[in-house]
Amino acid sequence: MLRAAREAGPHLVHHAGETAGPASVREALTAGRAERIGHGIRVLKDPELVAELRRRRVPLEVRPSSNVLLGLVPSLAEHPLPRLVEAGLTATLNTDGETSLTAEYQRTRETFGYSDAQLAHLARASTESSFAPEAWKTQVSAEIDRWLSR
């Protein structure tokens, strides 16, 4: 059934590596054929998995506020987002609806001291790893560049 769905065109994004460990991400990649991973914050516990995600450029949809709200991370300051980025993973900043995306970017700036360039890097990762048409990605990337050059 998964093969039929994939052949029909829908993209596959699995929530994994949030409450469960790296094995859930590996299963999402193999059996689930995930193109993106929703959350994935526990992947750093498995260096081989980190290397595979980096090599395959599988994006992680990271949601720091949600992870704290659910008690999966004690505080924003302890969230692994910076370590995911430092590991060379494609991390995108997202929200589960408990906050706005703008607020999530602001919290990321305030908590981790991220510069405009670092925030733009996250925004570009989100744009490039989206399933949107290439023309839209090009337009949004240009808007990110304009924002960064202001």
pLDDT (tens digit per residue) in 100-117? 999 999 999 999 999 999
106 contacts: CB under 8 Å, gap ≥ 6 = none
pLDDT (tens digit per residue) in 51-102? 999 999 999 999 999 999 999 999 999 999 999 999 999 999 999 888 999 9
Residue ranges of domains in the chain: 2-114
Q: What is the value of pTM for the model shown?
A: 0.90
Distance CA 123, CA 140 (A): 9
Supply the pLDDT for residue 103: 96
The C-alpha angle with vertex 116 and arms to 69 and 71, in degrees rounded to 5, equals 10
pLDDT (tens digit per residue) in 37-48? 999 999 999 999
Distance CA 53, CA 148 (A): 28
Catalytic residues: 18
87 contacts: CB under 8 Å, gap ≥ 6 = 44, 50, 54
Supply the pLDDT for residue 2: 58
Distance CA 84, CA 22 (A): 13
Which CATH superfamily is 2-114 part of? Answer: Metal-dependent hydrolases (3.20.20.140)
Stronger pLDDT, 61 or 7, i.e. the higher one: 61
